[in-house]
Amino acid sequence: MLFPTVEFAIFFLVTLAGAWVLASRLSWHKHFLLLASYVFYGCWNWTYVPLLFGISLFAGLVAQRIQRSQDPRVRKRWLIGGVVICLSALVYYKYTGFLLQNMLDAWAWFGRPPQLAFEGPLLPLGISFFVFHAISLLGDVYRGKLKQAVTLPDALLYVAFFPQLIAGPILRASDFMPQLAVPRDPQAVHVNRGLLLIITGLFKKVIISNQLAVNLVDPAFAAPQSLSGPDMLLAVYGYAVQIYCDFSGYTDIAIGVALLFGYRFPANFDRPYIATDPQDFWRRWHISLSSWLRDYLYIPLGGSRGGSWFTARNLMITMLLGGLWHGASWTFVIWGALHGSYLIAHRLWAAIPAIERLRDTTAWRWVARVLLFHAVCAAWIFFRAPSLDLVGDVFARFAVAGPVTLASAGSVVLIVLGIAGQYAPPRWHEALDRELARWAAPVRGAALAASLFVIELLGPSGVAPFIYFQF
C-alpha cells in the first residue's frame, strides 16, 4: 500500500477516524493502531507479518528483562544477545544471497567454477528499519534513556507504527514510547502543519521525483552508452534531486500523517544540498539514520577518541556499514567508502590552521557547496547503478562531447526547482502555516482538494514505489 494511492487514502481516513474515536480509551486506541499497522504491512505480503510481530515481541521481552535486572553483567548479556538475534534476522534476509554469491565468485577465482545457482530469500519490506527500531529499544533501555516500564503492546506499536514502518524516519524508543503512555489530545494536534507536510511530500514525490525518474534518470541509467556527456551529467543531477525529493517526500508524508494522529516524529532532512562540508551534509541528510549510526556504532567504536588514525578508522567502518545497510551490493559498499573518505579528508583539511580564515569567507562557502554537491553526485552514481560495469559506463560518458538529446527543458526546470527550493528559509514554511491557520475550514478544505487535483494532474501515470522501500 503506497502513500500516493486511493487505497492508502481510504485506509488512512478510516484509521484516523477510528483512532480518534478510541482516543479516550488509551489501551483500545493503541491496539487499534497496532492492528491497522499490521493490515498496512500485510497489504504488501501477509506471510511476513509474523516476522514483524516476532522481532517486535522479541525486542519487547528482552527490553523487559534488561529493565528488571540489576546486575550490569546480566543486562549486558541480554543486550548483546538481543542485538545479535535481531541482526541475524536482517543478515539472513538481506545478505544471504550476497554472501553466498561472493563465496561462489571467490571459488571461481581458483579455477573451479561452481555449477550452482542461488537466489536469496525475498527481502521483507522495510526490514532494515524495523530491525533498527528493535535495536534502538534495546539500546535505550540498556542506557537508561527510557524511564518508563516497557509494556509489550507499546513495544509492538513502537516497531510497527505504520507511518514510519517501511521507510522511516528511524524513531528512538526514548522519544516515541513516552508519547504512547498518555492519551492523545485533539486540541494539541497541528492539523495545518500535518496537511501542509502531506501536500509538500506528495508534490516532491509525484511531480518532481517521479517525473525526473520517468523522463530522465531511468532512461539514462538503462542505456548510458547512447548518451553524450552533457546528457549523462544532467541525469546524475536529476538523480540527486530525485532521491532527495523521493525520500524527503516520503518523510514529509510520514511526519504529517503521524501529526494528524497526535504523534511527533523527528525531522529527517534539513536542506542537505546547501551543506558546505561532508559532516554538515550528514547532519542534514537522513538525520535519523546518521544520528543512529553515530550513537549506536561510531561512538561505541570509540568515536573521535584515541587520535586521528582511530577516528579515521571509526569513520570508515561506520560509513562502510552504513553503505551495506542500504543494500547487499558492492556498489553500496563503495558508496559508503566514498562518504567515509569525504569525512576523513574534511577532518584533515579542517585541521590545517593556515586555511581557517579562508574557510570562514562567504566566497569559500559557496565554492565548498559546489564541490561537495558534485562529490555527493559522484557517490550517487554508485548508489543508483545496479552494477560496477554500469558505473564505469556512466563515468566514461562524461568525456563524450555531444548535444543534449534526452534531458528536456522540463527536466532541467525540475532539477533547478529541487535544488533551489532548499535555499528557501525555514521561516517561509512557518509563515505559510500561520497564514493557513487564518483561513476558514471550508477554504482550507477546498485548497487541499485543489492541491491534490493539481498533483494528480501533473504527475506521470502509474505509481512508482519509494526508493527507500527496498532498504
Enter the DSSP assignment of 191: H
270 closest CA partner among 256, 290, 254: 290
Residues 6+ apart with CB under 8 A from 107: 113, 114
Closest CA to 25 of 190, 187, 184: 184
d(CA 259, CA 190): 7
d(CA 392, CA 348): 29
Alpha helices in 119-228 (DSSP H): 127-142, 152-160, 173-180, 191-202, 210-212, 218-222
CB-CB contact of 206 with 4 (8 Å): yes
Q: Is 29 a catalytic residue?
A: no
Alpha helices in 261-304 (DSSP H): 278-284, 287-293, 299-301
Record the cell numbers describing residue 352, joined without a space. 590545517
Handedness of CA 358, 360, 363, 364 (dihedral sign): positive
* Residue 124, all three cell numbers: 521483507
CB 331 within 8 A of CB 388: yes
Active-site option among 326, 339, 374, 429: 326
Q: Is 409 exposed, middle or buried (0-12, 13-18, 19+ CB in 10 A)?
A: exposed
Active site residue ranges = 326
